[in-house]
Structure 1
Amino acid sequence: MSDLTVSLIQADLHWEDIPANLAMFGQKIDSIKTRTEVIVLPEMFSTGFSMQSSRLAETMDGSAVQWMKQKAREKNVIITGSLIIEENGAYFNRLIWMLPNGTYGTYDKRHLFAFADEHNHYRAGDKRLIAQVKGWKICLNICYDLRFPVWARNTIQEDGNPAYDVLVNVANWPERRSTPWRALLQARAIENQCYAIGVNRVGNDGNNIYHSGDTSLIDPVGEIIYHKAHDEDVFTYTLSRSHLDDLRAKFPFMKDADRFMIL
């Protein structure tokens, strides 16, 4: 299988300002001059982590999803990140996996952050999304999901292959809890024998909560390929298929894993 090139965008979001964030991310995407295949944006990238769901939510036909369609088509790239979405009278923290042809997959955040009252403003999802591109399988999570290893657990499938190859987590994770963020990303990469990508925001949000970013890319044995704190950044890297396959063949740990079922 082929290698896969990904771009991670760490940015200071404009609080609850959808047009400003779409314009800002458009400029950052336009700044990527090398060929890339997947662009990862933070959680609630069009608004910041706001509990104003009824005021800020858009539908799947709204401006942010339409912007994702336009940029994905224009750049011939997959774009992913989460948005505040309203559907049938309910509000979701919804990750969109947007393909260049305008089709998409969705994942609604399962673990809502009750500490910030998220569970009273959004409805939790109950289905994982594992997307595929160029033979790579990519498991998509949102922020607080990172604390719950069973939800992200990689397993050997009936065909003998792991369920996924890359774990992506998009976040608005505050600096005051940055140590768990960094440690858990490494743990998920190691225990699931996968690349782990965590894309976070930087700067103060509208509640004066500071985010240091700490956007990271970690290889399947926990080696840190990339880590960026405090500053905005756009980072592009090519994931090695042979590196991943060789590690899994040499250390087939997942075949010895406990069996379990999520209820």
Structure 2
Amino acid sequence: MSDLTVSLIQANLHWEDVPANLAMFDQKIDSIKERTEVIVLPEMFSTGFSMQSSKLAETMDGSAVQWMKKKAKEKNVIITGSLIIEENGEYYNRMIWMLPNGTYGIYNKRHLFAFADEHNHYKAGDKRLIAQVKGWKICLTVCYDLRFPVWARNTLQDNGAPAYDVLINVANWPERRSTPWRALLQARAIENQSYVIGVNRVGNDGNNIYHSGDSSLIDPIGEIIYHKAHDEDVFTYTLSRAHLDELRTKFPFMRDADQFMIL
């Protein structure tokens, strides 16, 4: 299987301003000159981490989803990030995996952040999404999910292959808890023998909570390939399939793992 090129966009979001955020990400995506195949945006990239779900939610035909479709087609890339979505009278913090042809996968955030009252404004998801591109399997998670390793557990399938190769976490994770953010990203990479991509926002949100970003790309043994704090940034990198396969062959730890599943 071939390598995979990804781009991480760390941005200062405009609070509850969908048009401004879409225009900003238009510019940032247009600034990417290298050929890339997957672009990762932060959690609630069109609004910031707002509890105004009924005010800000859109349907899957809404402006931000349509923008993802248009931009993915225009750039011939996959774009992923989460949005506030309303469906059948329920509100979700929904991560979308948008393909260039307009088809998409969805992942509804499983672990809602009760500390910020998220559980009273959104409905939790109950299904993982492992997306695929170029033979790579990619597990999608959102922010607080990162604290719960069982949900993100990588296991060997019946064919002997791991369930996924890359774990993506998109976040609005405040600076006051940046040490756990950095440590948990690294831990998830080590324990799951996968690349981990964490994309966070920077700057103050509408509640005057500061976010330092600390977006990161970590290899399957926990080596930090990329880390950026405080500043907006766009980073593109090619994940090596050979490196991943070599590490898993040399250190076949997953075959000794406990077998369990979430009911």
Pairwise CA distance, 1:188? 0.2
Could you tell me which runs of 5 or more consecutive residues in structure 1 were left unpaired when the two chains were aligned: none
Alignment of 1:117-132 (within 5 A): 117-132=117-132
Pairwise CA distance, 1:261? 1.6
Alignment of 1:21-32 (within 5 A): 21-32=21-32
Pairwise CA distance, 1:113? 0.1
Q: Which residue of 2 aligns with 1:253?
A: 253
Instruction: For residues 167-196 of structure 1, give each alpha carbon's deviation from its aligned partner in whole angstroms, at most 9, with x where no partner exists.
Output: 000000000000000000000000000000
Alignment of 1:110-121 (within 5 A): 110-121=110-121
Instruction: For residues 79-109 of structure 1, give each alpha carbon's deviation from its aligned partner in whole angstroms, at most 9, with x where no partner exists.
Output: 0000000000000000000000000000000
Instruction: For residues 196-236 of structure 1, give each alpha carbon's deviation from its aligned partner in whole angstroms, at most 9, with x where no partner exists.
Output: 00000000000000000000000000000000000000000
Give the match's secondary structure for 1:258. coil
Pairwise CA distance, 1:145? 0.0
Pairwise CA distance, 1:159? 0.7
Distance in 2 of aligned mates of 1:221 and 1:33: 29
Give the match's secondary structure for 1:111. coil
Distance in 2 of aligned mates of 1:46 and 1:206: 13
Distance in 2 of aligned mates of 1:21 and 1:129: 26
Instruction: For residues 43-70 of structure 1, give each alpha carbon's deviation from its aligned partner in whole angstroms, at most 9, with x where no partner exists.
Output: 0000000000000000000000000000
Q: Which residue of 1 aligns with 2:168?
A: 168
**2:237 is the counterpart of 1:231:** no
Distance in 2 of aligned mates of 1:26 and 1:85: 21
Residue identity in the other structure for 2:135? G
Residue identity in the other structure for 1:233? D
Give the match's secondary structure for 1:149. coil
Could you tell me which runs of 5 or more consecutive residues in structure 2 were left unpaired when the two chains were aligned: none
Alignment of 1:71-86 (within 5 A): 71-86=71-86
Q: Which residue of 1 aligns with 2:156?
A: 156
Pairwise CA distance, 1:248? 0.2
TM-score by length of 1: 1.00
Distance in 2 of aligned mates of 1:215 and 1:81: 14
Q: Which residue of 2 aligns with 1:220?
A: 220
Distance in 1 of aligned mates of 2:261 and 2:231: 40
Q: CA RMSD in A?
A: 0.2
Give the match's secondary structure for 2:21. helix
Residue identity in the other structure for 1:170? V
Residue identity in the other structure for 2:131? A
Distance in 2 of aligned mates of 1:261 and 1:6: 30
Pairwise CA distance, 1:77? 0.1
Distance in 2 of aligned mates of 1:258 and 1:157: 13
Number of residues paired by the alignment? Answer: 263
TM-score by length of 2: 1.00
Distance in 2 of aligned mates of 1:160 and 1:254: 10
Distance in 2 of aligned mates of 1:203 and 1:261: 38
Residue identity in the other structure for 1:63? S
Deviating runs (4+, > 2 A) in structure 1? none
Q: Which residue of 2 aligns with 1:241?
A: 241
Residue identity in the other structure for 1:132? Q
